[in-house]
Amino acid sequence: MSHGRQAIIGGRKWLAVALLAAALAGALPTPALAQAAPEAQSAASEEEPPADAAVVPADLTIANRVIFTMRAGAADVTPAERARRVADGIRTVVSYGGPLRITTRALPEGIAVMVDGRFVFRVLHEDVNPEAGETTDAVAARAVRNLGLALGEVREGQDARALLPAIGYTVLATFALVGSVWLLARVRRWATRRAHQFVASRSAQLAPGWGSHLLGRGGLEGLITLPVNLFCSLLAVLISYLWAGFVLRLFPYTRPWGEALRSNLLQALGDFGESILEAVPGVLFVALIFFLARLVARAVRVFFEGVQSGRIQVGWVDETTARPTGRLVTGIIWLFALVAAYPYIPGSGSEAFKGIGVFVGLMMSIGASGIVNQAVSGLMLMYTKALRPGEFVQIGDTEGTVKSVGFVTTRIETLRHEEVNIPNAVIASSVTRNYSRLAGEGGVWVATKVTIGYDTPWRQVHAMLELAAARTDGVARDPAPRVRQTALRDFYVEYTLLVSIADPALRVVTFDQLHANIQDAFNEHGVQIMSPNYEADPPSPKVVPREKWFEPPASRPRPPGGS
């Protein structure tokens, strides 16, 4: 019982919407009520209006039906006054109750129209619009046809028995409207219920993760049922529109309005179909342009992928710049295709499309300056080959292996397995140290420093540092390590050990072993390292004897290469 009551309530709501739509549809532009031009009581008394008089055309309207448009005045009256007098005269003729037979007669100034032998109005030569291809005979024939329809509708409106079928058809059409809207409401409720059940069973698949947090189940249900509600609402408006046009055509006084509703609908559908047919060649041309652009872009991508993999060798691009160059060329191809296809896109010449173009251009000009700066910096890095994927570099305080060089940012993987994204504009304005670029030509030279007192022979220090370097894995033997005395301080000498590392990515590990071996070598020979502060010689050398090198928990021996 409750479901039936809800259905009735829902049907009433949809009926209210339908009736409102019908009321709005009835307010569409229709033939206006009689507002128009004057007609003198006899042809002999008419005179031409002054040549400099401003003449405003007016429609002669009988029973809400436009008979024809009066463009010329008569004597000292305007077309509007002329039309009003003609309408009053026709009503007088109708009141005589004759057969309302319409005849015409040619006059020097035009064609006279008579009803039951009584003159009612003239179609003057000045009433014709020659720019529209009209002639006096054609305008008069159309006026006679419209006047016949109007007089028939006037007589029909005066016959109560003729209105009974119209009232019956109106009642039947109204019941059909109510039933259709009620059935549409039931269909909408059924589709909404099925959509809710579908969302309840498939919500995890439709919106995994973010759906429950961003939309929620209710929001997802509303998103899915929105097309159903929109379609049902449009269908209800269309049914109400058809009902209004049908009912209005049943009654003589409102028949012109119903005919206008039907003609407006047919004209809208015709215009829509004509627009589709006119847009077909443009759409086909746009599809052809993008199809050719896709073929060319695919060929460009295959070519540059071959250059990047080394299968294709060209002099103007190498495997490092092949990928960004391919992207640039592909982007230019699609941009050219868009520019070429734009005039053929349906609606591209409309004001709305132009407004969207202006809005997009404004947003791009305001927000793209930073992106353009980053992209230009990225192109500079790519084509100057300052950075390449796989190289070990130091940019500011960030040190690691280059993973990729993009148009906006460069990704660096640090020695701690952290991925750092550095904007290309920052890289372009920073000092970049590339440890890998020259590694193939003898490795990367790195340095470590130690300070020893003046009482230790410098030759012994050189030998101990070289010994520590020889014990360290990762240090190249050719070129051999070098020791330089880089400073003579107040209390000690500064020694710098230069070693070559084949793999820059192992620099931290190599330094760890090298520093350990330096300590072991100096301890073995009883030389103490007093840096960085030195005040006086201690009573005994500050060294670690060999027997204490592996005190707990350092129970394991050093890795190969250590002492």
Residue 311 lies in a domain: yes
Residue 559 lies in a domain: no
Structural contact between residues 153 and 65, judged by C-beta atoms closer than 8 angstroms: yes
The full DSSP string for 340-395 is HHGGGSTTTTSHHHHHHHHHHHHHHHHHSHHHHHHHHHHHHHHHHTS--TT-EEEE
Residue 221 lies in a domain: no
Q: What is the pLDDT of residue 189?
A: 87
Residue ranges for the chain with pLDDT beneath 50: 1-53, 209-214, 560-563
Looking at the fold, whether 415 and 495 belong to one and the same domain comes out as no
Residue 208 lies in a domain: no
Looking at the fold, whether 406 and 453 belong to one and the same domain comes out as no
What is the pTM (predicted TM-score) of this model? 0.43
Amino acid at 307: V
Counting the structural domains of the chain, the total is: 4
pLDDT tens sequence across 199-257: 777 655 555 544 444 455 566 666 777 888 888 888 888 888 888 888 888 887 788 88
Residue 135: Cβ within 10 Å count: 11
Question: Tokens for 521?
Answer: 């070598």
Residue 86 lies in a domain: yes
Looking at the fold, whether 478 and 406 belong to one and the same domain comes out as no
Looking at the fold, whether 453 and 516 belong to one and the same domain comes out as yes
Looking at the fold, whether 339 and 427 belong to one and the same domain comes out as no
At 526, which CATH number? 3.30.70.100
Cross-strand bridge partners of residue 410: 405, 422
Percent of the chain topping pLDDT 70: 79
Cis omega (within 30 of 0) for bond into 130:
no
Q: What is the pLDDT of residue 558?
A: 52
Looking at the fold, whether 405 and 450 belong to one and the same domain comes out as no
Q: What is the pLDDT of residue 278?
A: 79
Among the candidates 314, 343, 367, a domain finishes at 367
Residue 146 CA to residue 67 CA, distance in Å, equals 5
Residue 25 lies in a domain: no
Looking at the fold, whether 362 and 387 belong to one and the same domain comes out as no
Residue 20 lies in a domain: no
Structural contact between residues 438 and 505, judged by C-beta atoms closer than 8 angstroms: no
Residue 233 CA to residue 239 CA, distance in Å, equals 10
Among the candidates 97, 129, 157, a domain finishes at 157
pLDDT tens sequence across 57-76: 888 888 888 888 888 877 67
Which domain covers residue 427, as residue numbers? 382-434
Residue 405 lies in a domain: yes
Among the candidates 123, 157, 191, a domain finishes at 157
Which helix or strand (DSSP H or E) is residue 500 part of? Answer: strand 492-501
Looking at the fold, whether 387 and 359 belong to one and the same domain comes out as no
Q: Hey, what's the torsion of the CAs at 233, 236, 237, 238, to 10 degrees?
A: 120
pLDDT tens sequence across 260-281: 887 777 777 777 777 778 778 8
